[in-house]
Amino acid sequence: MVNVGLVGIGFMGWIHQLAYRRSDNARLAAFCSRDAKKRAGDWRGIQGNFGPPGDQILLDGIQTFETYDAMLRDANIDVVDICLPPHMHADAAVQAIEHGKDVFCEKPIALTAADSQRIMEAANANGRIVMVAHVLPYMGAFAFATEMVRKGTYGRPIGGYFKRVISDPTWIPDFYDPSRVGGPLVDLHVHDLHWIQLLFGKPKSVEAIGRMRGAVAEYVHVLYRFEDPNICVASSSGIVDAPARPFTHAFELHLENAALQHEFAAFSDTPETMPLKILTRDGQILRPDLPGGDEIDAFVAEIRDMAESVRTRQVAPRLSGQLAGEAVELALEIQSQLANK
């Protein structure tokens, strides 16, 4: 059993805590908070855009610490789970690594390519591993498609289109501040940039059009070029002034012998889903039954990979810190293109 120390008792910290309750190979052994109520287990008042609201948690078997430094000195902790605001990820990760802990960090790994590299260099120098919690390839249709590519069920991936669009996230403080949250590309589109690279490898170049909001990109269309000229990939992501549709994500993934389609839109009156379909080369339309469960199950699967990575010292591809850093680097390259046009 992997013992985890959690830092960052906000929405994602609450979601991770729910997942640890269901995990059979990792447990929440400790957490730190300057808030005495949270140290007493009162996590009520935490809310987000999915999952249940925060509640009172049971503290049986969980150590609590007022400071991060104190938690890092706990020799019982194997992994530090970082759910702090994005601008705090890099320093917290390096500090954990220097205390001999492996790191499991919420996305994005950092807000700059330099900080991403700093984390990885610290891990290499100290014999630690860095895992980044990009949960998208563990979720429903995305997990199914990821597994189809891994197995080569319908041949190799040769292209696709990926969409992730939200209305203005006014509930996220500093969302458009590149030094604190990072804006739509680093905080939102980084999910797709990570998944695209997981499926196709690193693109050799990108070409983007879009609009800026201050120092960050607000909305983009992107074309990706790969070493293989037959791979054709595009994406769209960002913010639109449509609060009646606060969130949409979708993909059409082209494999050699099939195409996979899926879309979800969270309209304000009722969500709508285009369930995953497999359109085969011989004309079949397959509608696979995806595993049941709720949103927390994806995080349980992610934690399972995290614990196995710690046990084997081989980081699961979906959790690769290097890949997560390259996704941030790609987001910033796209943003730089728009800023300089």
In this structure, are 129 and 247 located in the same domain? no
Q: What is the mean pLDDT of residues 292-304?
A: 93
Overall domain count for the chain: 2
How does residue 305 score in pLDDT terms, banded at 50, 70 and 90? very high
pLDDT digits (tens, 9 = 90+) for 237-257: 999 999 999 999 999 999 999
CB distance 9 to 23 below 8 Å:
no
pLDDT of residue 153: 96
Tokens 């996220």 -> residue: 172
Tell me what pLDDT residue 129 has. 98
Judgement on whether residues 38 and 84 belong to the same structural domain of the protein: yes
Residues 175 and 204 reside in one and the same domain = yes
Please report the pLDDT score of residue 135 as a whole number: 98
* Mean pLDDT of the 218-222 span: 98
Instruction: Write down the pTM of the prediction.
Output: 0.96
Residues 107 and 148 in one domain: no
Res. 49: pLDDT tops 80: no
Question: Same domain, yes or no, for 81 and 158?
Answer: no
Note down the domain range covering 10: 2-133+299-319
User: Do 105 and 158 lie in a common domain?
Assistant: no
How would residue 292 be classed by pLDDT, with cut points 50, 70 and 90? confident
> Which pLDDT does position 271 carry in this prediction?
93
Instruction: Look up the CATH number of the domain holding residue 86.
Output: 3.40.50.720
Assign 331 a pLDDT band (cuts: 50, 70, 90). very high
User: pLDDT grade, residue 206 (50/70/90)?
Assistant: very high
What's the rounded mean pLDDT across residues 274-278?
Answer: 98
DSSP readout, 6-19? EE--SHHHHHHHHH
**Same-domain status, 106 and 128:** yes
Q: Would you state the pLDDT for residue 96? A: 98
Q: Are 221 and 234 in a shared domain?
A: yes
Token code pair at residue 272: 């709508």
127 and 140 share a domain? no
CA–CA distance, 186 with 183 (Å, rounded to integer): 6
Read off the pLDDT of residues 56-103 as tens digits, 9 standing for 90 and up: 999 999 999 999 999 999 999 999 999 999 999 999 999 999 999 999
Band (pLDDT 50/70/90 cuts) for residue 291 is: confident
Q: Which of 86, 54, 264 is nearest to 175 (CA)?
A: 86
Q: Would you state the structure tokens that stand for residue 84, as one six-digit string?
A: 């702090």
Could you tell me if 120 and 149 lie in one domain?
no
Say what the pLDDT of residue 294 is: 86
DSSP annotation string for 73-98: T-TT--EEEE-S-GGGHHHHHHHHHH
Tell me the pLDDT band of 50, cut-offs 50, 70 and 90. confident
Q: DSSP string covering 244-294, please? A: TS-EEEEEEEEETTEEEEEEEEE-SS-EEEEEEEEEETTS-EE-PPPP---
On whether both 128 and 145 belong to a single domain, the answer is no
| pLDDT of res. 223 | 98
DSSP state of 155: B
CATH code, domain with 258: 3.30.360.10
Instruction: Determine the 3-state secondary structure of 303 from DSSP.
Output: helix
Query: Domain check: are 194 and 334 in the same one?
Result: yes
Residue type, 189: H
